[in-house]
Amino acid sequence: MGRRGNPAGVALRRDIWIYLAAWIALAAIYSAALVAYGASFGLAVRNAVANLVPDAILGLAVLRLPSKVPWPERSRGRFFTAHLGLLLAFLVLSSAGWLALEVIDSLIFVGHLPGRIVARFIPFRVLYDVLIYFTLAGVAYARQNAEAVREQAERAAKAEALRARASLEAMRSQLNPHFILNTFHALVGLVRREPAVAESALERLGDLLRYSLHIQRESIDEVPLREECAFVENYLALERLRLADRLRVSVDTPPATLECLVPTFAVQILVENAIQHAIAPRASGGLLQIRAQEIDGRLRVAVKDEGDGKVDTRFEGSRMGLRLLNERLAALYGSDAKLTVRSVEGGTCADLELPARRVSEDEQ
């Protein structure tokens, strides 16, 4: 069986052939125009080569400009200034290449250096090179934009699928029989002894379920950290019915961080993971710490527990929480976000790091 070609390599070869075909077609048009004005076929072809080859070579660099001079989101002054300088460099280098080829052509076909350069031809060359530069730059930026739109569409589609899976995963974690039975078992004992506490717990359970259904129904991918923390607070309150004083919680979320966007259920997954693997199995329980920081445009949410510090066990078993969260981060933020689970002194810490974006910034 034959080997399948590398998709990137196939695309590169296709682009090279398209690029060559475009310049050959332009050279044919250029030569035909010179012939129409009375030039011999050979002279027309040689003139086309001298005028177009420098631009074709420099054009390869122009096509790479989007990666070196990215299109700005806001201020465009520096962007256009940079392109003005690059255009001047293009004109100088193109003219130098043209002159060099004219000299070589004259030495080969005439036998001596060219006598003089026709001055009235220079403005035409400058205008022609300006059009070539902006055409190639426009194609390059349009292609980059199309590629970005395609990648964004793919990420959005993947994020939608992962969002649905995440919603179902979170709802399963809240609605699994053990959680429900443990919660109602604790409520039965509280109804007579502490009815007010039982009523509050039922309200929290209702809030938790309503929130999960709302996220799924509205197809929400991100929420402010404030909403996620409120959801986690209800979850922890219900877990305390089961764990009582064995579950100790410390939360440090500065007001500025609470408006930053996070993936839905992201913090809850980390908290549930810490309780399941570190605090619930221990007779003495443990301290669960939730801390948020915003540094240099990055939001970091750390969930630390007191446990055995065995990181590998967090990824074992049939649960998909952490793996799914990693997939969602990749779908929503690409390489601009990461989840790290590491052993620390006295337990394990899960670090969630992503861009510090807010609702108002997204709406702009």
Q: What domains can you pick out in the chain, each with its CATH number?
A: 7-150 (no CATH), 176-363 (3.30.565.10)
The alpha-helical segments, DSSP class H, found in 63-176 are 65-68, 77-109, 121-175
Listed in sequence order, the residues at least 6 apart from 142 whose beta carbon sits closer than 8 Å to its beta carbon are none
pLDDT value of residue 242: 80
CA-nearest of 275, 337, 335 to 301 is: 337
Cα distance between residue 231 and residue 222, in whole Å? 13
Total Cβ atoms within 10 A of residue 130? 13
* Residue 73 DSSP label: S
- Reduce the secondary structure of 303-358 to three states and give it as a string: EEECCCCCCHHHHCCCCCHHHHHHHHHHHHHHHHCEEEEEEECCEEEEEEEEECCE
Q: How far apart are CA 273 and CA 345, in angstroms?
A: 18
Closest by CA position to 31, among listed 17, 43, 20: 43
pLDDT, tens digit (0-9, with 9 covering 90-100), for 48-74: 898 899 999 999 999 988 888 888 877
How many CB atoms neighbour CB 242 within 10 A?
Answer: 16
Cα distance between residue 137 and residue 42, in whole Å: 31
Q: Look at residue 169 in the predicted model and tell me its pLDDT.
A: 59
Residue-level pLDDT at 143 = 87
Other residues' Cβ atoms within 10 Å of the Cβ of residue 14: 10
**Which residue ranges in the chain fall short of pLDDT 70?**
1-8, 115-120, 161-184, 189, 308-321, 360-364
pTM of the full structure: 0.54
Identify whether the C-beta of residue 278 lies closer than 8 Å to the C-beta of residue 260: no
